[in-house]
Structure 1
Amino acid sequence: MTKLLSLGLDGAAWHKLDRMMADGKLPNLERMVEDGTRAPLETVLPPVTCPAWRCSTSGKNPGQVGVFWWLNLDRPTGRITSPTADSFDTADVWDYLSEEGRRCAVLNVPMTYPPSELDGVMVSGFGAPFEIDLDADSITHPPELQDRLEEEYDWQVGIDDVNDPGGVEEALDLIRSRFELLLDTLEDGEFDYVHLTVFYINVLQHHFGDGPETERGWELIDEYLGKLPDDLTKVVYSDHGHSHIERTFVINKYLIDNGYLSIESQAGDEVTGGIYTALKRVGISPRTAGALARRVLPEGLYERLVQSGYPIPTFELANRVNWEESDAVALSQGPIYVNRDRLGDDYERFRDDLKAELESVSIEGESPFDSVAYAEDVYSGDHLDEAPDLLLVAADEWEVYGGVTPSVIERQATSWTSGNHPIGVLLVHGADVTAGELQTRSILDIAPTVLRYLDAPVPTDMNGESFGEPFRDGLPERRTREPIAGGAGRDAVQDEELESRLEDLGYLE
């Protein structure tokens, strides 16, 4: 019989869920909240799916695991690389539980491809190839589980675009398949620890905000919450929260305008910049304009327009940066990398000045940033030197965009209407759980709490601290152990498929 279910709801935020519960739309979640213990959950920075899920399952901050965003920047070359599961320099809770003889089922966690060997089963989540090739590396452990996924659940890793006709229905089908696999896994009763992450509810929120499309997703999730055994102990949490986007700060345009970032100009930049500005004035977003242009322009002209310049989407930025002539470059959602080799002894002064400049930015009397932080104030660990030098945290209703547009301030630079927020949700529910509320906890606290609940020793390199307040009998006495070496040491590479999928989701628009 399963002793603990860890259920990840990507992007869940209490202020959104509370509103739907108040409207009577999430009765099963409402009951779980009334019977269980809830808390706000603070995530890592930037607050994003990668690396937040793997930070939650390892109990370590990005400076320890060595992955900071969906993409990493190689400073010596300015090359952007794509992490895989093996890029994370860490072991996870399932590795430690497996060593203790505890059977684990790890289902759909982003950035777990290729799957690791463990005492149990693993199904890789987002980051795995969308096209499942039975002759290539399997997305599952053991490999033969992949056949069952396709035959019984019509399993898909992801979909191309929720904005396409039928995209919302496809996203709902993905959510459905995840929960059907979960219910069957729980019914098998052979696993001590089961973790499922539901990723595509986050995608619906990004593109449709609080609209009916997203509500349908949450109502479907609530339906499945009602099918979970009441006596099963559940730790339900999100990797980050969500907040409505009103305006966008285009950080790389700011860096260009201030002489810190050099971009290769191409023929047609002024023309496409003018087209972009005209479309913006009539309320057409860049993504919608791009889709229209792709349909109506003569063959080849659209491609030439995209190649020619503005707007430069995030995925194209690496091909346009003159890194040897640049002092800094940024990625979406906050990371700023400084060219230490170019600046040499002037690095510290430049970083201090840039931080102060960004802190002084004021738009209509308000800052677009909640904070501008040094890397060492956000991260710790062996990979601190690889971290972005500065980190922007967007203020409420702002988004930090890593592409380039003609203006530093945009109303909507991407197709997103709702963006990531540092505060997510935590809910503990089950027969051995008391009703109540906790003060804000850290997402790094999940892993040590899981280990202690299952009476397994906690490795000494975990940042997080376990919490026992929700459990009537507390947690077993804390035992410690030496860490397991994690990750295969494989360097990140440029993964064109992953980057294409991230573009479809809006991360690299």
Structure 2
Amino acid sequence: MRGKMLVIGLDGACWDLIGEWVENGELPNIKKLRDGGCWGPLGSCIPPITCPAWHCYATGKNPGKLGVFWWEHLDLENRRVIIPNSKSFKSRKLWDYLNDARYRTGIIGMPTTYPPQKVDGFMIAGGPDCGDTGYTYPKELESWLKQEFDYKPHPQISVTDRNKRGIAIEEVHNLIAANFEVAKVLMKKNPVDFLQVTSFHINGPLQHYFYNGKPTRKAWKLIDDKIGKLVPNFEYILIMSDHGTSPMIKNFFINAWLENEEYLVTRRTFYDFLFKFGFSRDRISRLLVKLHLTRFLRRFEITQRIARQIPDQFGDLGDHAGEGTFSRINWQKTRVIGSPQGPLYINKEIIKNKAEYERLRAELINKLEKLKDPETNKNVIQKVYKREEIYHGSYAQQAPDLVALDADEYHNRGGIGKANILEKSEWKGNNARYGLFLFAGPGIRQGQYIDSVTIFDLAPTILHLMNISIPKDMDGRVIKEIFMQDSELAKREVVYQKVADKTEREKERIKMAVKRLQAGGSEL
């Protein structure tokens, strides 16, 4: 069977990073597709982060309609941290509409799809938020993956372990290859009309730590080779990313800056005692490795909970907030707290008056946008957005009050307890606003560059390609300029559908099931 559409999702990919390799022939399959297709930069959501960007792609909606804005949500009113999963996104996805139209779908490796949802086809969750088990639909697919491929959703060794870095890099390359190999076999075993293969690990362990270095370059050559072997099985091809990657030099610790400016006030706790007596996260991690306990503890998510409660070697409780982080904050005096990569939350128990709230936001915007690195005189923050400037929808009021977008070469980090506001970073690559897209197939313009496409436009365009009406509540548009002028795709009317409620969708699913049974099909 020849599938109708293949989507290759590449976390953190952008033309600024791979363009030279495409031009000099190191990535011949991507070059062939680019020469024969329509391509350009892809504007991401703000901030340009894996979570929620992948769901912005899958839904065609901004985070204000999804209810998820970053990897964590700081609920200051209840003094708790909410960690989202796939069920947190308040919208139907691209594959739901494809299934409604009786297209079978296969989704492999996309971040923020854990736990996997039921689809007509299969789903293998991926990304840093994916559990070590329970990551497939149907459930029995997991045991098959382990048996046939010794499949693992995560690297077992970190590239930060300098003593085992070579082994760790090889493991990441193998994980990247595995998703493509699984896709190739599943297309024969369980063919689908729409297949999405996503590689998160090209960005997380590689581009962040090596940017365009040898480990990243080798991974891209591997991906290009795998793309070349998968493409002939499909009519339409989309290569896309959730955001881009750019070079970086320093970390900016937003909460250290907020504390220095007296917007955030901390107090000494039990965690400072741990740090004083040498109980750092790195030391305990090394001890767990020596005792061979890391895999056992990780299976029950114990290592993550421990990591959030123990300071690192600098006394910092980490980027992600948790009970330990919140306990260090003096809430009677703290007006603002930040999460990594941009979100800023204002404490409404202190800032109750609307005028005072707006004055505080204006003050923060002014100070952050003028903030300079004293060593380079470069801006640390590119721009600070009010939430209403970048989010709209039913959940926009749950968004951070402000979002600070990194300037080039700087990475906004969270954590509590840092002494320094700016430090040299171990990362070499940071998330960037513009990723990439490349469409190829019958009726698609060839060798055409377009620079006006956003991540929200992909889902409606895919639905149009598959001749499915587009839900009216999607924020994106059909990218009609990618179609050849006289093609059927260009002439085809863009049709919109009203947004059905659960009862209407259930009725439609029952109708489809009856039709399949009448046609001699199976609902199993």
What TM-score comes out, normalization by structure 2 length?
Answer: 0.82
In 1, Cα distance between equivalents of 2:86 and 2:95: 14
Structure 1 residue 111: Cα displacement: 1.1
Structure 1 residue 384: Cα displacement: 0.9
Determine which of 393, 401, 422 is the counterpart of 1:409: 422
The question of 1:343 aligning with 2:351 is answered: yes
What SS does the aligned partner of 1:245 have? strand
Q: Which moved more, 1:97-106 or 1:186-195?
A: 186-195
Asked whether the 8 Å contact 1:324–1:342 carries over to 2, the reply is yes
Kindly tell me: are residues 222 and 262 of structure 1, through their superposed partners in 2, closer, same or farther at Cα, counting changes over 3 Å?
same
Asked whether the 8 Å contact 2:385–2:402 carries over to 1, the reply is yes
What SS does the aligned partner of 1:359 have? helix
Structure 1 residue 246: Cα displacement: 1.3
Question: Which structure would you say has the larger RCO, counting Cα contacts within 8 Å and 6 or more residues apart?
Answer: 1
Kindly tell me: are residues 424 and 322 of structure 1, through their superposed partners in 2, closer, same or farther at Cα, counting changes over 3 Å?
same
1:35 is matched with which residue?
36
Q: Which moved more, 1:82-91 or 1:467-476?
A: 467-476
1:212 is matched with which residue?
214
Kindly tell me: are residues 210 and 291 of structure 1, through their superposed partners in 2, closer, same or farther at Cα, counting changes over 3 Å?
farther
Query: What is the root-mean-square deviation in Å for CA atoms of aligned residues?
Result: 2.9
Determine which of 150, 154, 162 is the counterpart of 1:154: 150
In 2, Cα distance between equivalents of 1:355 and 1:384: 19
1:439 is matched with which residue?
451
Deviations 1:228-278 (A, max 9, x none): 2346311110000001111222110010011111222248969979x9xxx
Asked whether the 8 Å contact 1:90–1:485 carries over to 2, the reply is no
What SS does the aligned partner of 2:235 have? coil
1:500 is matched with which residue?
none
Asked whether the 8 Å contact 2:246–2:429 carries over to 1, the reply is yes
1:281 is matched with which residue?
none
Asked whether the 8 Å contact 1:49–1:240 carries over to 2, the reply is yes
Kindly tell me: are residues 454 and 307 of structure 1, through their superposed partners in 2, closer, same or farther at Cα, counting changes over 3 Å?
closer
In 1, Cα distance between equivalents of 2:90 and 2:500: 10
In 1, Cα distance between equivalents of 2:389 and 2:452: 19
Partner letter of residue 389 of structure 1? Answer: D
Partner letter of residue 100 of structure 2? Answer: E
1:239 is matched with which residue?
242
Partner letter of residue 53 of structure 2? Answer: A
Asked whether the 8 Å contact 2:11–2:241 carries over to 1, the reply is yes
2:110 is matched with which residue?
109
1:279 is matched with which residue?
none
2:132 is matched with which residue?
131
Structure 1 residue 305: Cα displacement: 8.5
Asked whether the 8 Å contact 1:105–1:191 carries over to 2, the reply is yes
In 2, Cα distance between equivalents of 1:480 and 1:258: 50
Determine which of 352, 360, 376 is the counterpart of 2:370: 360
Structure 1 residue 403: Cα displacement: 2.0
Kindly tell me: are residues 213 and 251 of structure 1, through their superposed partners in 2, closer, same or farther at Cα, counting changes over 3 Å?
same
Q: How does 1:4-43 map to 2 (within 5 A)?
A: 4-43=5-44
Kindly tell me: are residues 143 and 272 of structure 1, through their superposed partners in 2, closer, same or farther at Cα, counting changes over 3 Å?
closer
Kindly tell me: are residues 484 and 324 of structure 1, through their superposed partners in 2, closer, same or farther at Cα, counting changes over 3 Å?
farther
Partner letter of residue 162 of structure 1? Answer: V
Kindly tell me: are residues 112 and 485 of structure 1, through their superposed partners in 2, closer, same or farther at Cα, counting changes over 3 Å?
farther
The question of 1:143 aligning with 2:127 is answered: no
2:230 is matched with which residue?
228
Deviations 1:320-374 (A, max 9, x none): 2233431111011111111122210122221222222212222344321111110
Kindly tell me: are residues 167 and 358 of structure 1, through their superposed partners in 2, closer, same or farther at Cα, counting changes over 3 Å?
same
Deviations 1:153-189 (A, max 9, x none): 2221112423342211111111111001222234458
What SS does the aligned partner of 1:362 have? coil
2:518 is matched with which residue?
none
In 1, Cα distance between equivalents of 2:212 and 2:284: 25
1:331 is matched with which residue?
339
In 2, Cα distance between equivalents of 1:180 and 1:271: 46
Structure 2: gaps spanning 5 or more residues: 292-306, 503-524
Structure 1 residue 311: Cα displacement: 3.2
Asked whether the 8 Å contact 2:6–2:231 carries over to 1, the reply is no
Partner letter of residue 223 of structure 1? Answer: D
Q: Which moved more, 1:43-52 or 1:202-211?
A: 202-211
Asked whether the 8 Å contact 2:312–2:318 carries over to 1, the reply is no
Deviations 1:284-341 (A, max 9, x none): xx99xx469957xxx9xxx999379733422353442233431111011111111122
The question of 1:49 aligning with 2:50 is answered: yes
Structure 1 residue 118: Cα displacement: 2.0
Determine which of 429, 445, 466 is the counterpart of 2:440: 429
In 1, Cα distance between equivalents of 2:130 and 2:105: 23
What SS does the aligned partner of 2:481 have? coil
Kindly tell me: are residues 307 and 470 of structure 1, through their superposed partners in 2, closer, same or farther at Cα, counting changes over 3 Å?
closer
The question of 1:419 aligning with 2:430 is answered: yes
Partner letter of residue 356 of structure 1? Answer: N
Deviations 1:39-80 (A, max 9, x none): 100000111111100110000011110000111111202321
Asked whether the 8 Å contact 1:61–1:444 carries over to 2, the reply is yes
In 2, Cα distance between equivalents of 1:465 and 1:29: 25
Q: How does 1:264-413 map to 2 (within 5 A)?
A: 264-266=267-269, 290=282, 294=286, 306=311, 310-315=315-320, 317-345=325-353, 346-363=356-373, 364-404=376-416, 405-412=418-425
Asked whether the 8 Å contact 2:460–2:470 carries over to 1, the reply is yes
Partner letter of residue 215 of structure 1? Answer: R
2:507 is matched with which residue?
none
Kindly tell me: are residues 189 and 247 of structure 1, through their superposed partners in 2, closer, same or farther at Cα, counting changes over 3 Å?
same
What TM-score comes out, normalization by structure 1 length?
Answer: 0.84
Kindly tell me: are residues 324 and 149 of structure 1, through their superposed partners in 2, closer, same or farther at Cα, counting changes over 3 Å?
farther
Structure 1 residue 223: Cα displacement: 0.9
Q: How does 1:452-471 map to 2 (within 5 A)?
A: 452-471=464-483
Partner letter of residue 14 of structure 2? Answer: A
Kindly tell me: are residues 84 and 337 of structure 1, through their superposed partners in 2, closer, same or farther at Cα, counting changes over 3 Å?
same
In 1, Cα distance between equivalents of 2:363 and 2:463: 44
2:498 is matched with which residue?
482
Structure 1 residue 147: Cα displacement: 2.1
Kindly tell me: are residues 268 and 104 of structure 1, through their superposed partners in 2, closer, same or farther at Cα, counting changes over 3 Å?
closer
Determine which of 233, 257, 261 is the counterpart of 1:258: 261
In 2, Cα distance between equivalents of 1:293 and 1:98: 44
In 1, Cα distance between equivalents of 2:414 and 2:397: 22
